[in-house]
Amino acid sequence: MKVQVIGCNHHTTDIEFRERLAFQPNQVPDALDRFQKTHPGIEAVLLSTCNRVELYTASEKSAVCPSHEEVVDFFAAYHGLNPTDIASELRQLSGEEAIRHLFTTAASLDSMVVGEAQILSQVKQAYEMANDGDFTGPLTHASFQAALRVAKRIATETALHKRRISIPSVAVADFASQFFERFDDKTILVIGAGEMGEETLQYLIDLNATDIHIVNRSIERAEDLASRTAGKAQPWEMLDPLLIKADLVVSTTGANKPIVTIDHYKDISQKRFQRPLFVLDLAVPRDFEPAIGDELGVYLYSIDDLQAVCDKNQRARQRELPKAQEIVEAETAKFMAELTHRTTIPWVKQLREQADSIKQDELARLLNKLEVLGELGEQGKKELEVSFDRLVNKLLHPPLESLRDDASKGLEHGLLDALKKLFQLRE
């Protein structure tokens, strides 16, 4: 019985290497199908994200599990690469190390940003895709279902996921949400159409924001962002009218000087009639002159204000790491104990059947002899059968009890191997 993982991740390989090995979601079923045609009967789950490419394999028979070289050949053949160019970058973990790695990955303890939520859904999706294609089996079912439980336990028993550490998530959750009770009735202006603005906008949409206007010097980029998210693209000339109307501004341009100066804002302020304005200036250099934050009704936050909260939250996450790691270690030991116990079950069954067969033969021989001598009645037969059963059970109890102790501690199969040799048990 063997569970293993072979692949690479962001800790040991650069993004260019991972890009060469990556599988698009629509390629995964085809890749697993090709793999199982080469390795029939092997359970497999393929996890491919921007930070990792990992093939998890398992088999009830350890000897038939694919080797490192065979998996390297599979990756190389699928992507048209030379095996020698990738072999040294793909690491192999098996048994307890593989299980610990899977649990750590699903719980986001191995992620580039510890505690990010996306990896759990990616692990779940990889498992479900393998399941849908009938590429999984008892060992991968047990392993991945346990990994999902571990991730859920860490999410509920620690604060690892409760602290946001990206600028956009902090901007919305730790700042805007403290200022506004709701967003569905707010007018939102996004200045700039870059990645920072898009991510911040997505958090606002998740909080039911609908009245959204996107302004960018290139109207085409504004329209592109609007098509991928929500809201309406507006020409740059609409900046002032929209500033007058807005409740919340998210500004993320690449301008090399402020696009809204204090004098500029004072002209706009007169037309706002002291309505509160919340500004998230996420640009570097800043889009809004700092003096605007001193104006009546203006709440202006720069990226430095947000970064301080991000750093604080990151430190809070780090403090939660030991607790999360303890959970992983406990769950890994528990899983390995269950796996070891599962390994012993067929051998214990075979030993008991072997002992029972010997008992039956010897009991039959004795009963025949006693019946010939006329020294045994029905009650005597029953007493002998009970005595033989008790004798066999007492003889088997010490070795089987020791075997159970080994299994409960997740130990290697030394005692089981000895038992198979001593009693001549066969595959």
pLDDT digits (tens, 9 = 90+) for 321-351: 899 999 999 999 888 887 776 666 676 677 7
147 vs 328: CA distance, rounded Å: 9
- Please give the pLDDT value at position 262: 97
CA distance 231 to 222: 10
Q: CA 403, CA 418: separation in Å to the nearest integer?
A: 10
Class of domain 2-161: alpha beta
Residue 353's pLDDT is what? Answer: 80
**Distance between start and end Cα atoms, the chain:** 13
Average pLDDT over residues 90-94: 95
Q: Where is average pLDDT lowest: 156-170, 270-284, 370-384?
A: 370-384
Write out pLDDT tens, residues 45-62.
999 987 899 999 999 888
Topology of the domain comprising 167-310: Rossmann fold (3.40.50)
Strands of the sheet containing 43-48, edge to edge, are: 43-48, 52-59, 2-9, 91-94
Each as own residue / partner, the long-range contacts of residues 217-220 (CB below 8 Å, 24 or more positions apart, any chain) are 217/253, 218/193
Of the residues 8, 50, 65, 310, only one is catalytic, namely: 50
Q: Are 158 and 323 in contact (CB under 8 A)?
A: yes
- What's the pLDDT score for residue 307? 77
Global confidence as pTM: 0.62
Domain ranges of the chain: 2-161, 167-310, 338-422
Cβ partners under 8 Å of residue 425, min gap 6: 347, 350, 351, 354, 419
Q: Is 65 a catalytic residue?
A: no
Report the distance separating Cα 177 and Cα 155, nearest Å.
22
Q: Is the pLDDT of residue 98 over 60?
A: yes
User: What pLDDT was estimated at residue 342?
Assistant: 67
Q: Is cis: bond before 285, omega within 30 of 0?
A: yes
Range list of H helices, 27-170: 28-38, 68-79, 83-86, 96-106, 118-132, 138-157, 167-170
Helices 303-373 and 414-422 pack at an angle, to 10 degrees, of 20
* Partners of residue 91 on adjacent β-strands: 7
Same CATH topology for 2-161 and 167-310: the answer is no
